[in-house]
Structure 1
Amino acid sequence: MSKDLTIILPAKNEANTIGLLLDQLVEKFPLATVIVVNDGSSDDTGVIAKQHGVSVISHPYCKGNGAAIKTGTRQVRTQWIATMDADGQHQAQDLMLLYKKAQQGFDMVVGARNKQGQASIFRLMANKFYNTLASWITGHKIQDLTSGMRVVRTDCFRRFLYLFPNGFSYPTTSTMAFFRAGYSVTYQNIDVKKRVGKSHIKMFRDGARFLLIIFKVGTLYSPLKLFTPISLVFFVLGLAYYGYTFSFYSRFTNMSALLLITSVLIFLIGIVSEQITVLQYSKGDVEDE
Structure 2
Amino acid sequence: MKRILFIIVSCLVMHCTLSAQESVQSLIQALRDPASKKVLVVSHRGDWRHAPENSLQAFENCIRMGVDMVEIDLKMTKDGHLVLMHDKTIDRTTDGKGAPSDYTLEEIRRFHLKDSAGELTSHVIPTFEEVLDLCKGKILINVDKGYEFFKEVYALTEQTGTTEQVVIKSGNRLKKVQEENGDVLNRVIYMPIISLDSPDASLIVDEYLAISPVAIECCFKTEMPEVIQLLQKIKSSGKTKIWINSLWPSLNAGHDDERAVTRNQPDESWGWILSQGASLIQTDRPAELLEYLEGKGRR
Q: TM-score, normalised by structure 1?
A: 0.23
Q: Which has the higher helix share?
A: 1
Q: TM-score, normalised by structure 2?
A: 0.22
Which structure has the larger Rg?
A: 1
